[in-house]
Structures are given as C-alpha cells and as structure tokens.
Structure 1
Amino acid sequence: MKKINSIFDKVERASLFISKCGLFAMMVLVSSDAIGRYFFNSPIVGTYEFVEMYLMMITIFLSMSYVMKIGGHIRLDIVIDRLAKSVQMKLNFFYYLIAAVWMFFIGYYGMQITIEAWAKDLTQSGIVSFPLWLSYIWVPIGAFLFSVRLILLCINMKGTGSVLKGE
C-alpha cells in the first residue's frame, strides 16, 4: 500500500505543479492584459476566454486532490466534532466513499464530453477559436485524481485511525 501511496503522491505533486503553472500563467496574462488595456490601449485578444476556459479549469481541477490530501477543503465540523471518534471515523469513511463514487461519475461523464468534443473538433466561437476538448479534459483528470485520493483516504483510515494530515 505504501508503494501505491508513494506513486500517487508523485502523480498528485505533478498535477499540483501544473495547477500552479496555470495559476502563474493566469496572473501574468491578466496583468499583461490590464497593463496593455489601460496604458497602451491595446488589450491581449482572447485573454478572458483563455483564462476562463483553460487556466481556471487547470488550476481548480488539478489541485483538488492535493487540497483534499492536506485537509484544505471546507468542512462543517459543528456537529461532527461533538460525536465520538469512532462515529466520526465511520461518517468520514461513508462520506469519502460516496464522494469517491460521485467524483468517478463526474470524471466519467467529463471524459465522454471531452472525447465527443475532440472527435467532432468543437471549438469555442469568439474572436479566437479555441478547441473545447483542451478545456474539458481537465475535468475528468481532476475528478479521477480526486476519486483515487478519496479511496486512498478510506483505505488509510482503517490502518492509521486518522484521515487527513491535519488531523
């Protein structure tokens, strides 16, 4: 199991690195567009569409799994914290299992849409035509990574007694 965790951690770190690069590119592109627009009266054509359709998708979906690993997602603990540890563990296990199945279906459906967009060569209409499959592909990748992370959390719960690094 340690080998699987180690391999998945490397995949997750690579995914997080790509997400960070997307965030950096978003920052540079939006800043450059704003500078070009207000100082030179010449914005970068297609910036808004590219940031919205590609960079935000990359940043959000490729970081979800890592954020779950470190316990960074929002949690409502007002009721859960008052329960016994054994009940908390069972509820967390159930939640992670249901969430893993849900994310798998989101990933599967996203994969179908991505393949369809690629096969039909769909593009976004606008000033600059971007291929849609390059935007859609980040949904199944991120959802499948998140699903695997949730399953690994369920498996690791049985052995360690805690779920997240923060606990």
Structure 2
Amino acid sequence: MNDNMEFLGKVLQRCELALLYLGVLANFAMMCLTSADAFSRYLFNAPILGALEITEKYLMVASIFLGLSYAYRGGLFIRVTFLVDRLSGNAKLAADYFAHVVSLAFCVFMVFATGQQALRGLSDETELSTLPIRVGPAYSFVLIGFLALTVIMLIDITRVRSGQSMLLSQEAPSAT
C-alpha cells in the first residue's frame, strides 16, 4: 500500500512538473511574442497579426493556471492566519480542517465549472478576430490547472492532522 502511494506521488509530481514546464514555456513564448511584436511595430510599423490575442487568450491563461498545483505545493498561496495562530489544540485542528475543506470545495466547484466551459468552448466555432484559431481550447488550460490542484489537495487533506499540510504550512520567518 505504501509503495502504491509512493508511486502515485511520483507520478503526480512528474505531471505537476510537466504542467509547470508548459506554463514556463507559455510565459517564455509570451515574452518573445510581445517583444517581437513591439520591435516589429516600432521599427517596421508592421505589428505581428494576432500577437495580442494569442497572448491574452492562450499564453497568459496557460502560464497562470498550469502552475497552480506547483504554487500550492510550494506554499505560495496567500494565508491569513492571525486568528488561527491564536487557537490551540482541537480548535486549531478544526479550523485547519475547515480551511482545507472550504478550499477543496472551491477547487471542486471550479473543476466542474471550468469543465463545462471547456466542453462548450471545444464545440464552439468562435475564432480569434485576426487569425483562424479557435478560442475554445484555451479554456482547457484552466480546467487542467484546477484539476491538478484538486488532486493534490485531496491527497494533502490527509496531512492536516499531522500539521504537514501544504495549504497550512508556516512561512519562513523574515530576515529582519
């Protein structure tokens, strides 16, 4: 049983890493496309056709949402702990579980909502205004990001009792 969980953890980490690299690649492509568009626009007075739309409809969405699970695992989500830090024992544990369940419920809701939107988008014939590229597939990036985050949070809820949850991990003290 432990070997299966370890194997599953490694598979999930590799999937998460692949999503992260795709997000980084999208970020790099966005940077190159925006720079090339600005260079072309100001030097040759000829902007790249569809650069802004590809950036905002595809590349920006991918760079943000494909990194959600990595950000979660790294403890990069915002935490407001001024109340919970003052609790002790069972009250703190109950608050931690409550925070985790509410966050998980939000992620599940987002998976269903973005899944419906992605399905509608894939059957929609809407294209970018400047290029014959369909807009619908971009919605899948949001679904994939939230799906990966939901799976990680489902696994992570088992760590709440031990205080090892990535959602509730303590930030490093400041260097001041």
Runs of at least 5 residues in structure 2 that lack an aligned partner in the other structure: 171-176
**Does the 8 Å CA contact 1:19/1:62 hold for their aligned counterparts?**
yes
Give the aligned partner of residue 151 of structure 1: 154
What is the aligned residue count?
A: 165
Corresponding letter in the other structure for 2:120 = E
Deviates more, 1:25-34 or 1:4-13: 4-13
Corresponding letter in the other structure for 1:108 = F
**Does the 8 Å CA contact 1:114/1:137 hold for their aligned counterparts?**
yes
Deviates more, 1:145-154 or 1:63-72: 145-154
Change (3 A) 1:7 1:35: same
Corresponding letter in the other structure for 1:13 = L
Corresponding letter in the other structure for 2:127 = Q
Change (3 A) 1:76 1:161: closer
Counterpart pick for 1:49 among 29, 50, 53: 53
Change (3 A) 1:96 1:40: same
Corresponding letter in the other structure for 1:161 = G
Identity percentage of aligned residues: 27
Query: Is 1:76 the equivalent of 2:80?
Result: yes
1:110 aligned counterpart, secondary structure: helix
Give the aligned partner of residue 140 of structure 2: 137
1:83 deviation in Å? 2.4
Query: Distance between the aligned counterparts of 1:37 and 1:85, measured in 2?
Result: 61
Corresponding letter in the other structure for 2:79 = R
Counterpart pick for 2:112 among 78, 97, 108: 108
**Does the 8 Å CA contact 2:38/2:47 hold for their aligned counterparts?**
yes
**Does the 8 Å CA contact 1:99/1:147 hold for their aligned counterparts?**
no
Relative to the length of structure 2, the TM-score reads 0.84
Q: Deviations over 1:102-158 (max 9, x none)?
A: 2122112222222222224x2235122321221111111111111111112111334
